[in-house]
Amino acid sequence: MTVAAGTLISILAFWASPQDDKTFLPAIKKFREEYYKVGAKDDDKIAAVNYLAQHRHERIVAELTPLLTEASLPVRMITARMLSQFTQVEAAPRELLNGLKAQANSGKKQSCVRIEILRALGNLRYKPAASEVAKMVEDREVWVAKAAIDACGRIRTAEAIDPLLKALRRIEGSMGDSEVYPLDEILEGVSRGSLLKPDPNQKRPTERDVLKQPILSALNAITKQSFPVSKDWDTWWSKNKATFRVAD
Protein backbone atom coordinates (compact mmCIF):
# COMPACT_ATOMS: atom_id res chain seq x y z
CA MET A 1 0.00 0.00 0.00
CA THR A 2 2.77 2.38 1.00
CA VAL A 3 4.70 1.51 -2.14
CA ALA A 4 1.69 2.17 -4.32
CA ALA A 5 1.11 5.53 -2.68
CA GLY A 6 4.76 6.45 -3.14
CA THR A 7 4.62 5.50 -6.80
CA LEU A 8 1.47 7.54 -7.29
CA ILE A 9 3.07 10.57 -5.65
CA SER A 10 6.13 10.18 -7.84
CA ILE A 11 4.02 10.04 -10.98
CA LEU A 12 2.03 13.08 -9.92
CA ALA A 13 5.22 14.93 -9.03
CA PHE A 14 6.63 14.08 -12.44
CA TRP A 15 3.54 15.39 -14.19
CA ALA A 16 3.48 18.46 -12.04
CA SER A 17 7.11 19.35 -12.60
CA PRO A 18 7.69 22.00 -15.22
CA GLN A 19 8.48 20.53 -18.58
CA ASP A 20 11.16 23.15 -18.90
CA ASP A 21 13.32 21.03 -16.68
CA LYS A 22 13.94 18.66 -19.54
CA THR A 23 15.05 21.35 -21.88
CA PHE A 24 17.96 22.14 -19.59
CA LEU A 25 19.14 18.59 -19.22
CA PRO A 26 21.58 18.72 -22.15
CA ALA A 27 23.09 21.93 -20.82
CA ILE A 28 23.38 20.47 -17.34
CA LYS A 29 24.93 17.33 -18.75
CA LYS A 30 27.49 19.33 -20.64
CA PHE A 31 28.17 21.48 -17.61
CA ARG A 32 28.80 18.46 -15.44
CA GLU A 33 31.11 16.93 -18.01
CA GLU A 34 33.20 20.06 -18.18
CA TYR A 35 33.10 21.02 -14.56
CA TYR A 36 33.81 17.65 -13.06
CA LYS A 37 36.21 16.32 -15.65
CA VAL A 38 39.51 15.06 -14.41
CA GLY A 39 42.11 17.78 -14.19
CA ALA A 40 39.70 20.66 -14.72
CA LYS A 41 41.24 23.91 -13.62
CA ASP A 42 39.51 26.99 -12.30
CA ASP A 43 39.47 28.49 -15.78
CA ASP A 44 37.63 25.43 -17.10
CA LYS A 45 35.20 25.46 -14.22
CA ILE A 46 34.51 29.14 -14.61
CA ALA A 47 33.89 28.61 -18.31
CA ALA A 48 31.46 25.80 -17.45
CA VAL A 49 29.61 28.00 -14.96
CA ASN A 50 29.39 30.80 -17.49
CA TYR A 51 27.99 28.36 -20.02
CA LEU A 52 25.32 26.96 -17.72
CA ALA A 53 24.31 30.39 -16.42
CA GLN A 54 23.13 31.32 -19.89
CA HIS A 55 20.00 29.36 -19.01
CA ARG A 56 18.09 31.08 -16.24
CA HIS A 57 15.84 28.67 -14.45
CA GLU A 58 15.22 27.18 -11.03
CA ARG A 59 16.79 23.96 -12.21
CA ILE A 60 20.00 25.77 -13.11
CA VAL A 61 20.04 27.50 -9.74
CA ALA A 62 19.80 24.11 -8.07
CA GLU A 63 22.79 22.97 -10.10
CA LEU A 64 24.89 26.01 -9.29
CA THR A 65 23.99 26.44 -5.62
CA PRO A 66 26.44 23.87 -4.22
CA LEU A 67 29.28 25.72 -5.88
CA LEU A 68 28.68 28.75 -3.67
CA THR A 69 30.06 26.87 -0.71
CA GLU A 70 32.03 23.96 -2.10
CA ALA A 71 34.06 25.31 -5.01
CA SER A 72 37.29 27.25 -5.04
CA LEU A 73 37.04 30.94 -4.22
CA PRO A 74 37.17 32.21 -7.83
CA VAL A 75 34.44 29.74 -8.83
CA ARG A 76 32.27 30.74 -5.86
CA MET A 77 32.68 34.37 -6.84
CA ILE A 78 31.81 33.75 -10.48
CA THR A 79 28.81 31.68 -9.43
CA ALA A 80 27.53 34.51 -7.25
CA ARG A 81 28.13 36.95 -10.06
CA MET A 82 26.23 34.77 -12.52
CA LEU A 83 23.32 34.22 -10.15
CA SER A 84 23.00 37.97 -9.73
CA GLN A 85 21.65 38.02 -13.27
CA PHE A 86 18.78 35.62 -12.48
CA THR A 87 16.29 38.41 -11.91
CA GLN A 88 13.14 36.39 -12.61
CA VAL A 89 14.15 33.27 -10.74
CA GLU A 90 13.05 33.28 -7.10
CA ALA A 91 15.43 30.59 -6.02
CA ALA A 92 18.50 32.56 -7.02
CA PRO A 93 18.49 35.26 -4.31
CA ARG A 94 17.28 32.73 -1.76
CA GLU A 95 20.25 30.49 -2.42
CA LEU A 96 22.58 33.46 -2.47
CA LEU A 97 21.37 34.43 0.97
CA ASN A 98 21.97 30.89 2.18
CA GLY A 99 25.47 31.12 0.73
CA LEU A 100 26.06 34.38 2.57
CA LYS A 101 25.06 32.82 5.88
CA ALA A 102 26.96 29.60 5.30
CA GLN A 103 29.81 28.75 7.60
CA ALA A 104 31.94 27.94 4.58
CA ASN A 105 31.94 31.59 3.57
CA SER A 106 32.40 33.15 6.98
CA GLY A 107 36.19 33.27 7.22
CA LYS A 108 38.49 36.13 6.44
CA LYS A 109 39.71 34.47 3.26
CA GLN A 110 36.15 34.12 2.05
CA SER A 111 35.54 37.86 2.29
CA CYS A 112 35.67 38.18 -1.47
CA VAL A 113 32.87 35.61 -1.79
CA ARG A 114 30.73 37.46 0.72
CA ILE A 115 31.34 40.67 -1.19
CA GLU A 116 30.21 39.11 -4.47
CA ILE A 117 27.11 37.65 -2.82
CA LEU A 118 26.25 41.01 -1.24
CA ARG A 119 26.57 42.70 -4.61
CA ALA A 120 24.37 40.01 -6.15
CA LEU A 121 21.68 40.42 -3.48
CA GLY A 122 21.78 44.15 -4.05
CA ASN A 123 21.41 43.69 -7.79
CA LEU A 124 18.43 41.42 -7.25
CA ARG A 125 16.93 43.80 -4.63
CA TYR A 126 16.03 40.87 -2.44
CA LYS A 127 14.17 42.30 0.55
CA PRO A 128 14.15 39.11 2.65
CA ALA A 129 17.93 39.48 2.79
CA ALA A 130 17.72 42.99 4.24
CA SER A 131 18.36 42.11 7.88
CA GLU A 132 21.28 39.82 7.07
CA VAL A 133 22.78 42.44 4.78
CA ALA A 134 22.27 45.17 7.36
CA LYS A 135 24.24 43.17 9.91
CA MET A 136 27.23 43.23 7.64
CA VAL A 137 27.33 47.01 7.44
CA GLU A 138 29.46 46.81 10.57
CA ASP A 139 31.70 44.02 9.27
CA ARG A 140 35.36 44.20 10.28
CA GLU A 141 36.41 43.86 6.67
CA VAL A 142 36.08 47.28 5.15
CA TRP A 143 35.23 46.03 1.70
CA VAL A 144 32.59 43.65 3.01
CA ALA A 145 31.07 46.55 4.88
CA LYS A 146 31.22 48.67 1.73
CA ALA A 147 29.43 45.96 -0.29
CA ALA A 148 26.78 45.63 2.42
CA ILE A 149 26.21 49.38 2.50
CA ASP A 150 25.79 49.47 -1.28
CA ALA A 151 23.40 46.52 -1.10
CA CYS A 152 21.32 48.26 1.59
CA GLY A 153 20.92 51.23 -0.71
CA ARG A 154 19.62 48.98 -3.46
CA ILE A 155 17.38 46.76 -1.35
CA ARG A 156 15.88 49.80 0.40
CA THR A 157 14.33 48.65 3.66
CA ALA A 158 13.84 50.65 6.84
CA GLU A 159 15.65 48.08 8.95
CA ALA A 160 18.93 49.10 7.33
CA ILE A 161 18.73 52.70 8.55
CA ASP A 162 19.82 52.08 12.13
CA PRO A 163 22.90 50.06 11.18
CA LEU A 164 23.82 52.63 8.56
CA LEU A 165 23.55 55.52 11.04
CA LYS A 166 25.58 53.56 13.56
CA ALA A 167 28.30 52.99 11.00
CA LEU A 168 28.23 56.65 10.03
CA ARG A 169 28.71 57.73 13.63
CA ARG A 170 31.56 55.31 14.04
CA ILE A 171 33.56 56.44 11.03
CA GLU A 172 33.01 60.08 11.84
CA GLY A 173 34.90 59.42 15.01
CA SER A 174 38.50 58.43 15.45
CA MET A 175 37.79 54.88 14.37
CA GLY A 176 37.34 56.14 10.87
CA ASP A 177 40.96 57.18 10.66
CA SER A 178 42.36 53.70 10.04
CA GLU A 179 43.89 53.24 6.60
CA VAL A 180 42.45 50.98 3.98
CA TYR A 181 44.44 48.98 1.47
CA PRO A 182 42.95 47.89 -1.80
CA LEU A 183 43.63 44.23 -1.23
CA ASP A 184 43.52 44.12 2.53
CA GLU A 185 45.23 40.72 2.31
CA ILE A 186 42.12 38.94 1.22
CA LEU A 187 43.49 37.62 -2.05
CA GLU A 188 45.08 34.24 -2.03
CA GLY A 189 48.75 34.25 -2.90
CA VAL A 190 48.94 38.00 -3.14
CA SER A 191 49.82 40.32 -0.31
CA ARG A 192 50.42 43.99 -0.41
CA GLY A 193 53.81 43.47 1.19
CA SER A 194 55.09 41.01 -1.38
CA LEU A 195 53.75 42.61 -4.49
CA LEU A 196 52.93 46.23 -4.21
CA LYS A 197 55.46 47.64 -1.76
CA PRO A 198 53.51 50.84 -1.31
CA ASP A 199 55.33 54.00 -0.63
CA PRO A 200 55.42 54.36 3.15
CA ASN A 201 55.18 58.11 2.81
CA GLN A 202 52.08 57.95 0.69
CA LYS A 203 48.86 58.50 2.57
CA ARG A 204 46.34 55.73 2.13
CA PRO A 205 42.58 56.35 2.10
CA THR A 206 40.93 55.94 5.47
CA GLU A 207 37.79 54.01 6.33
CA ARG A 208 36.02 57.32 6.47
CA ASP A 209 37.14 58.13 2.91
CA VAL A 210 35.94 54.76 1.72
CA LEU A 211 32.67 54.36 3.60
CA LYS A 212 31.16 57.76 4.35
CA GLN A 213 29.91 58.61 0.90
CA PRO A 214 28.42 55.16 0.27
CA ILE A 215 26.58 55.35 3.62
CA LEU A 216 25.16 58.76 2.77
CA SER A 217 24.13 57.50 -0.67
CA ALA A 218 22.45 54.45 0.81
CA LEU A 219 20.57 56.51 3.38
CA ASN A 220 19.48 58.87 0.66
CA ALA A 221 18.29 55.99 -1.52
CA ILE A 222 16.18 54.59 1.32
CA THR A 223 14.82 57.79 2.88
CA LYS A 224 15.05 60.28 0.01
CA GLN A 225 16.58 62.65 2.60
CA SER A 226 19.97 64.26 2.36
CA PHE A 227 22.13 65.31 5.32
CA PRO A 228 25.90 65.68 5.45
CA VAL A 229 26.67 64.39 8.95
CA SER A 230 25.37 61.83 11.40
CA LYS A 231 24.11 64.45 13.85
CA ASP A 232 21.57 65.77 11.33
CA TRP A 233 20.58 62.26 10.39
CA ASP A 234 20.02 61.34 14.01
CA THR A 235 17.79 64.36 14.49
CA TRP A 236 15.70 63.53 11.46
CA TRP A 237 15.48 59.84 12.27
CA SER A 238 14.43 60.36 15.85
CA LYS A 239 11.48 62.43 14.64
CA ASN A 240 10.41 60.15 11.78
CA LYS A 241 11.32 56.65 12.86
CA ALA A 242 7.90 55.75 14.16
CA THR A 243 6.04 56.72 11.01
CA PHE A 244 8.66 56.12 8.35
CA ARG A 245 7.71 54.09 5.27
CA VAL A 246 10.02 53.45 2.37
CA ALA A 247 8.64 55.24 -0.66
CA ASP A 248 8.13 53.18 -3.81
Partner 1 sequence: MSTMEKFCPTTEVLAGWLQGSLDPQQRGQLTSHLAACDECRRALAIASSIEAPPAVPLNEILLSRVVAASRPRRVLPFAAAAAAVLAAAVGFSLTRHATQPPAPSVAVDRAPAVEAPAVKPVPKPEDPRSAGPVPTPPKPVVEAPKPVVVEQPKTSEKPVAVEKPVERPTVVAPPEVVEKPIVKSTPPPVKAPVDVLTLAPVFVIDPVGDLWLKRDEAEAKAVSLEKAAYKDKFSTRNGTAAFTLEARTSVMLEKNSEVAFWHQKTDDVYSLALDQGLVMLDTEGSSQKWQISFGNTKLDYNNLNGRLAVESRGDRMSALLLDGTAELKIGSMAKKALVGQEFVLSREGAVVEQKVETQKKLARLDELRPKVFTAFASTFDEKSEDFQPYPYAVVSGKRALGPSGFYLQADFAAAPKGEKSVLSSEIHLDRAFGVVSGMVIKFRYRSSLPGFSVKIGNYSVDFASRVRAGQWGDGEIPLGAFSFEGTPMLPTDPVENVRFTGSTTQKNGQLDIDGVQFLRRVK
Residues binding partner 1 (CB under 8 A): 30, 34, 37, 41-43, 46-47, 50, 74, 77-78, 111-112, 115-116, 141-144, 146-147, 182-184, 186-187, 189-190, 195-199, 201-202
Smallest separation, CB 78 to partner 1 (Å): 6
Cβ proximity to partner 1, 53 vs 61, nearer residue = 53
Smallest separation, CB 73 to partner 1 (Å): 9
Smallest separation, CB 196 to partner 1 (Å): 5
Smallest separation, CB 227 to partner 1 (Å): 25
Cβ proximity to partner 1, 11 vs 183, nearer residue = 183
Count of CA atoms in the C-beta half-sphere (13 A) of 231: 2
**Amino acid found at 140:** R
Cβ proximity to partner 1, 31 vs 86, nearer residue = 31
Smallest separation, CB 58 to partner 1 (Å): 24
- Number of H helices and E strands in the chain, helices first, is 13, 0
CA angle 163, 168, 174 (to 5 degrees): 125
Count other C-beta atoms under 10 Å from residue 208's C-beta. Answer: 20
* Exposure b/e, 100-118, CB count within 10 A at least 16 = b: bebeebeeeebbbbbbbbb
Answer for the pair 134, 163: CB distance below 8 angstroms, yes or no.
yes
Cβ proximity to partner 1, 144 vs 233, nearer residue = 144
Cβ proximity to partner 1, 197 vs 245, nearer residue = 197
Share in percent of the chain as helix, strand, coil (round to 5): 70, 0, 30
Count of CA atoms in the C-beta half-sphere (13 A) of 230: 16
